[in-house]
Structure 1
Amino acid sequence: CDATAIQDYRGEEYRAALEQILANQSGAQRVRVIRPGESYTMDYRPERLNIHLDEQGTISELSCG
């Protein structure tokens, strides 16, 4: 996964259709969407793209792991 290639998507409103686009552009094999207040595992998976959303459903962070 290479999240540097997709940083221009930060600040965009999240849509489910973006998952596949972001996965393809980053080379991720898996995608995880993380919403505010949700619990999630801290296990590191280099092939996974993490899409962090803010309270308004906007993409605030894109990272691999």
Structure 2
Amino acid sequence: MRFGIGVLVLALAACQPVAPPPVKEGAVGSCGADALQTLVGQDKSVLAAMTFPAGTRIIEPGTPVTMDYSASRLNIYIGRTGLIERVSCG
């Protein structure tokens, strides 16, 4: 009977749902960042003529930002030279 209980426990454990892998920070899909990758390497001045979704963060060196993750939030990172270094979700 002991063998049967052990098999039952293993069978039940195999039925437990598996959580999906966490969204990788900086992913480019869910906020529209994938369509804006052509901005990388351009001067930040190009952003002035563009409109972005509410909540978009343009992050320059030294800009404080919250550490919460939002897959729908667009982040545009500006480097010390004034060039756009990265466009991602988060």
TM-score, scaled relative to structure 2: 0.56
Q: What is the Cα-based RMSD across aligned positions, in Å?
A: 1.7
Percent identity between the two aligned chains: 39
Aligned counterpart, 1:3 = 33
Unpaired runs of 5+ in structure 2?
1-30
Aligned counterpart, 1:64 = 89
Alignment of 1:1-65 (within 5 A): 1-15=31-45, 16-20=47-51, 23=52, 28-65=53-90
Aligned mates of 1:33, 1:4 — CA distance in 2: 16
Query: Which protein has the larger Cα radius of gyration, Structure 1 or Structure 2?
Result: 2
* Count of aligned pairs: 59
Aligned mates of 1:64, 1:46 — CA distance in 2: 6
Q: Say which structure, 1 or 2, has more relative contact order (CA 8 Å, 6+ apart).
A: 1
Return the structure number with greater strand share: 1
Q: Runs of 4+ in structure 1 displaced over 6 angstroms?
A: none
Aligned mates of 2:88, 2:44 — CA distance in 1: 15
Aligned mates of 1:31, 1:18 — CA distance in 2: 15
Unpaired runs of 5+ in structure 1?
none
